[in-house]
């Protein structure tokens, strides 16, 4: 609970930050910032440095009674949650001073989480017993998972340990029958990660702990507080662990320490608790398994790696949140990753109909558009992205680009009105963000006049669509029939007329061959792509084609002992490419793969 006194409304505390993060509208961001700062001020009112030091220095007798320990801990958790939201909203302002403020606020939140988590963990051990959750005194930064990118760990590798007395000490696992069944079969935790990685010895912390000599708290309250702090503490670690290596070094300097499996384990505990954050922990895990893992290619081309885990989470929440727009949205994501596009479209459309928030409706329609792209239904995709361009208050340029390339690919006779409108819009956008810079570079491939438009074949536009599917790691979700259509289009190209970028058709063709299991043809296509581009300048605007082709070739060569050395050399050589599209995303993937293959 918050400290006593007049403060922001319930809607302000819970929904304004959510609205701001989903809409990116300046007025909502400013309103959320002011609301969160007020929450932070109230949380610090009774625990601030000045208030604590004055009585010790001057011996002032404060008649105000000390607040109950449970309320103190709850206030600290709310403080850390608010500071994380403040940091995220500050980051959205995208200026240098905002980045510095964001880092400092995150550091403050991290320190609060660590202290409160440690205190509640001690209380849990004293009141209830051992709990296999990460020990905050032994956290280390492990930015990449320890499993190879192109496979799912076996059940034996994710074996769950038992306590020293031979009894299962995962108290939180007993709250869910289906999860216990999953443990028996080994299927659930084979996806969620190893408990061995965080089954560390727990220690009673020093006698100077902030909870010493405080009144006792009953077991139910301790369990609720443990679930509350595990949500923020786990989500924080999970988010930090996804940063590229260069930023992780900065995080070490700032004092952050994060472990991906520790973050997942904390969220797993939180989602089974009675605290109000339990559904949010479930949503965070769904976000990780259905969006983060495929987009960052944490599991390589195996976009279905997190599907089993996400499906189990959705099934367990089905009774309570059957018609919830967010759960329908994630159900659609699961279907999309399984290449069941018809089911995905049904879920996304139902989510858009049930959404009470405008931003969530637009997010569901965004997925509808991508499902049409995966189905290679260019005309239907163009209609959705044109609507999103006119309705959304953010990423208008992104939807304009998607609508423009779809309008070029949907028929031989160009939809000139849509194309012209979107092209003119994209050329006016400032280079404010990395996405804006990406789109600005892509706009240079747009023909300027009607004669030039007519000279471009329909495959020219399809290749630009295929490039988007590849960069957003959506190609593996295409059906076998659509992969065959992509192969046919790429093999029918005339390089001088149909290729917007040198070697792009070979890059897409190699990926399509790889998805269809034709590894030798895929390797040959990637080599041809690199050969075509060998004479290009090192600062070419389409340098990402070379970098990604070299990465894909290296991944395939790593699979056999005979070519493993060549594959490692190719991956290490990607560092020669700089300032290309999606550089940070590829850097994370290369770094992870090299660590695992060493």
Of 73, 109, 100, 372, whose CA–CA distance to 226 is shortest?
73
Mapping DSSP onto H, E and C, the string for 542-582 reads CHHHHHHHHHHHHHHHCCCCCCHHHHHHHHHHHHHCCCCCC
CB 363 within 8 A of CB 375: no
Helix orientation angle between 307-321 and 278-287, rounded to the nearest 10 degrees: 150
- pLDDT of the residue at 92: 57
Q: How many other CB atoms are found less than 10 A from the CB of residue 158?
A: 21
Evaluate the CA torsion angle 106, 108, 112, 114 in order and state its sign. positive
CA 363 to chain centre: 15
pLDDT tens for 250-278 read 777 767 767 788 889 999 999 988 888 89
| Predicted model pTM | 0.74
- To 5 degrees, how large is the angle CA 141–CA 142–CA 146? 165
The rounded distance, in Å, linking the Cα atoms of 227 and 224 is: 5
- pLDDT of the residue at 496: 67
Whether 579 shows a pLDDT value over 80: the answer reads yes
Mean pLDDT over 234-239 rounds to: 84
The rounded distance, in Å, linking the Cα atoms of 583 and 179 is: 39
CB 78 within 8 A of CB 45: no
pLDDT tens for 212-221 read 444 567 888 9
Confidence band (pLDDT; 50, 70, 90) for 59?
Answer: low
Whether 137 shows a pLDDT value over 90: the answer reads no
Q: Which residues of 205-216 are buried (b: 16+ CB within 10 A; e: fewer)?
A: beeeeebeebee
CA 295 to chain centre: 7
C-alpha separations of 182 from 126, 190, 203, 266 in Å: 29, 9, 30, 18
| Domain ranges across the chain | 376-597
Whether 576 shows a pLDDT value over 80: the answer reads yes
The rounded distance, in Å, linking the Cα atoms of 16 and 9 is: 10
3-state helix, strand, coil in the chain (%, to 5): 65, 0, 35
The rounded distance, in Å, linking the Cα atoms of 596 and 485 is: 34
- pLDDT of the residue at 205: 33
Residue 587 burial class via C-beta count within 10 angstroms: exposed 0-12, middle 13-18, buried 19 and up: middle
Residue-by-residue DSSP string for 350-388 = HHHHH-SSHHHHHHHHHHHHHHHHHTT-HHHHHHHHHHH
Q: Across the strands, what pairs with 414?
A: none
- pLDDT of the residue at 572: 93
pLDDT tens for 305-362 read 888 999 999 988 888 887 889 889 999 999 999 999 999 999 999 999 999 888 889 9
Residue 476 token pair = 């593996």
Q: Which of 22-36, 96-110, 520-534 has the lowest mean pLDDT?
A: 22-36
pLDDT tens for 551-575 read 999 999 999 999 999 999 999 999 9
- pLDDT of the residue at 32: 74
- pLDDT of the residue at 268: 92
Q: What is the CATH number of domain 376-597?
A: 1.25.40
- pLDDT of the residue at 343: 95
């Amino acid at each position: 609970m918050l400290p006593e006194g007049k403060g922001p409304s319930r809607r302000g505390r819970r929904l304004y930050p959510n609205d701001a993060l989903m809409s990116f509208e300046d007025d909502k961001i400013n309103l959320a910032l002011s609301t969160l700062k007020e929450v932070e001020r109230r949380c610090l009112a009774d625990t601030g440095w000045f208030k604590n030091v004055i009585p010790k220095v001057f011996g002032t007798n404060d008649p105000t009674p000390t607040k109950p320990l449970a309320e103190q801990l709850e206030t600290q958790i709310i403080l850390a949650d608010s500071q994380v939201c403040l940091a995220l909203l500050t980051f959205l302002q995208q200026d240098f001073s905002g980045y510095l403020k964001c880092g400092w606020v995150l550091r403050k939140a991290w320190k609060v989480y660590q202290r409160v988590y440690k205190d509640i963990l001690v209380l849990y051990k004293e009141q209830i017993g051992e709990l296999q959750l990460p020990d905050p005194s032994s956290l280390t930064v492990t930015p990449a998972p320890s499993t190879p990118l192109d496979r799912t760990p076996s059940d034996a590798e994710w074996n769950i340990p038992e306590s020293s007395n031979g009894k299962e000490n995962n108290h939180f696992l007993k709250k869910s029958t289906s999860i216990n069944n999953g443990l028996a079969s080994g299927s659930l935790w084979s996806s969620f990660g190893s408990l061995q990685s965080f089954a560390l010895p727990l220690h009673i912390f020093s006698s100077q702990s902030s909870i010493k000599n405080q009144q006792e708290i009953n077991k139910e309250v301790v369990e609720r507080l443990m679930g509350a702090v595990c949500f923020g503490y786990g989500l924080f670690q999970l988010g930090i662990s996804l940063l590229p290596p260069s930023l992780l070094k900065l995080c070490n300097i700032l004092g952050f320490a994060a472990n991906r499996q520790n973050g997942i384990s904390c969220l797993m505990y939180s989602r089974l608790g009675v605290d109000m954050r339990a559904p949010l922990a479930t949503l965070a895990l769904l976000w990780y398994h259905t969006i983060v893992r495929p987009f960052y290619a944490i599991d390589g081309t195996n976009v279905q790696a997190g599907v089993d885990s996400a499906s189990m989470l959705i099934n367990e929440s089905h009774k309570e949140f059957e018609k919830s727009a967010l759960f329908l949205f994630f159900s659609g994501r699961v279907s999309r990753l399984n290449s069941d596009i018809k089911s995905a479209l049904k879920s996304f459309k139902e989510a858009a109909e049930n959404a009470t928030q405008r931003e969530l409706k637009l997010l569901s329609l965004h997925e509808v558009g991508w499902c049409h792209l995966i189905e290679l239904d260019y005309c239907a995709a163009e209609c959705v992205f044109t609507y999103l361009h006119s309705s959304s208050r953010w990423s208008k340029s992104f939807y304009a680009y998607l609508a423009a390339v779809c309008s070029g690919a949907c028929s031989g006779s160009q939809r000139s009105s849509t194309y012209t409108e979107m092209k003119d819009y994209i050329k006016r956008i400032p280079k404010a963000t990395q996405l804006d810079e990406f789109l600005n570079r892509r706009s240079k491939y747009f023909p300027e006049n009607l004669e030039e438009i007519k000279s471009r074949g329909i495959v020219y536009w399809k290749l630009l669509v295929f490039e988007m599917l590849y960069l957003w790691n959506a190609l593996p979700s295409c059906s076998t029939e659509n992969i065959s259509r992509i192969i046919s289009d790429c093999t029918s190209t005339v390089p001088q007329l149909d290729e917007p970028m040198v070697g792009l058709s070979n890059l897409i063709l190699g990926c399509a061959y790889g998805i269809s299991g034709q590894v030798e043809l895929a390797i040959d296509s990637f080599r041809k792509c690199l050969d075509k581009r060998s004479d290009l300048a090192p600062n070419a605007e389409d340098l990402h084609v070379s970098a990604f082709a070299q990465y894909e070739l290296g991944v395939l060569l790593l699979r056999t002992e005979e070519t493993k050395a060549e594959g490692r050399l190719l991956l290490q050589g990607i560092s020669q490419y700089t300032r290309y599209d999606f550089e940070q995303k590829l850097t994370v993937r290369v770094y992870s793969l090299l660590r695992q293959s060493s």
